[in-house]
Amino acid sequence: MEKMYEEVEEPVSPHGQYFNSTVMCAYIFAFLEFDIPFDEPQLIPMIKDLFLPINPRLSSIMVRDKYGKMRWQKVEVKIQENVRFPKFHETANSSSIELYDNYVTSLLTSQTPQDKPLWEIHLINYPTTNAASTMIFKLHHALGDGYSLMGALLSCLQRADDPSLPLTFPSRVRLDPKYSKKSLFKKLCFGVSSFFSSVSDFGSSIIKTRISEDEKTPIRSGYQGNEYQPVALSNILLSLDQIRQVKSKLGVTINDVVCGVIFYGLRLYMKEMNEKTKRANSTAIVMLNTRNIKGYQSLKEMQKPESKGLWGNKISFLQIPIPKPNKSGISNPLEFVMEARDVIKRKKRSFSVYLIGLIMDLEMKLRGSEVVSKVIYNTIGNSSVLISNMVGPVEKMTLGNHPVNGLYFTQTVGPEDINIAIMSYMNTLRITLKTIKGFIDEQKLKFCMDKAVEVIFKAAMEISVIPIKK
């Protein structure tokens, strides 16, 4: 028992402190949609047998030791206090779907008590548009990032077709597989280009963080209290086959197509809401997993001592300028995909994300976590959109013999007006929009995103050769 106590009495990582400070209190929300109503009595035993053993942090709270350092401390988990079974009372003026939406809105803006483990599970046994019941995991970002938390969550689920087989995920292909075959001269030129690109990106990131900010537009209010404002959650479901068709036509990656769709949809929305802002300077913050791994690891792998780095927060971000349309109006939609590809490809070659991480670590040591939290908060607040993505299984899953029809996530981080989360599951790609009520017209934004998909797909199918950027 003493050994277990020592294991959980580990220091809270710098990122864990950034995300749980007086400046930021960040959460990740994972949604499991089931084909059938969930058997409520099964949930508590599942949490005890499957969820809590994943990591000691799930049975711990953050405390400050006698030296002033934040540490994880083991506590007794009263599971019933961290689990909710909401009951809705439908009336003539409110359906279960409306009550569900209101409940989720409230859940996204509330905080969990600091004297209990930093997670909650909400089982909503009411039908929605896409499911018979929904389970929501509310996980504090201090516990880990999207990769570690989603990997741990997926370890609790099984394949519907054959539980004895592991879940599989789409293969990840390098952007430049021919690099190893390049001549020494070309590799040298590549290295020099990466160096200057890194310096430029690092400088622009520092400026964006400390000095400059995006213009105020229909997608950026500039208000720094958005984390306390009511939000709306909406989903866009896309066929991965359709995305792959565009990918093949243009010779790009799926991520390039999705980013092009999002950027084009945002510009359409800006044009619809305020014509004068269609060419405004706007930036997207794209969250990155900095682990050098190909995919999720099994729960056994994540629990090995030598695999400690698989858990926690290993993230950084890219600052991507949102492409602008031509002066005459919204330009060829395929240019948004190609420009997204070019910018992201160049940014990924840059070492700026690692330089930013080093600066944050140094600032943490010299000035403390609260100062770094403020820097992260300002970086997000000075930009227009926050984007993150995760890859889900190819096969259908089950949880305790309850088939999972849908899987998606969102997060609350800082003062962003629009938070976009992208997740694949089976043959569907889901784009989840978390927007500030009263400022963002979520229905119009969703319409513009749907239109962007339609227009880009149609334009791609009409070309016979890969477009060349002028």
Highest mean pLDDT among 44-48, 199-203, 307-311, 413-417: 44-48
**What is the tens place of the pLDDT at every residue in 371-388?**
888 888 888 888 999 999
Q: Which residue has the higher pLDDT, 399 or 361?
A: 399
Provide mean pLDDT across the span 434-462: 94
Q: Of the given ranges (67-81, 87-101, 201-215), which has the lowest mean pLDDT?
A: 201-215
Among 95, 96, 77, smallest CA distance to 86 is for 96
CATH number at 179-395+415-462: 3.30.559.30
Q: Are 381 and 213 in contact (CB under 8 A)?
A: yes
Q: Which of 290, 152, 231 is CA-nearest to residue 432?
A: 231
Q: 152 or 4: which carries more pLDDT confidence?
A: 152
Alpha-carbon gap, residue 415 to 229, rounded angstroms? 9
Domain ranges of the chain: 2-159, 179-395+415-462
2-159 and 179-395+415-462 have identical folds: yes
Residue 322 · residue 385 · CB < 8 Å: yes
DSSP state of 182: S
pTM comes to: 0.87
One of 3.40.190.10, 3.40.1190.20, 3.40.50.150, 3.30.559.10 is the CATH number of 2-159, namely 3.30.559.10
The pLDDT score that the predictor gives to residue 329 is 56
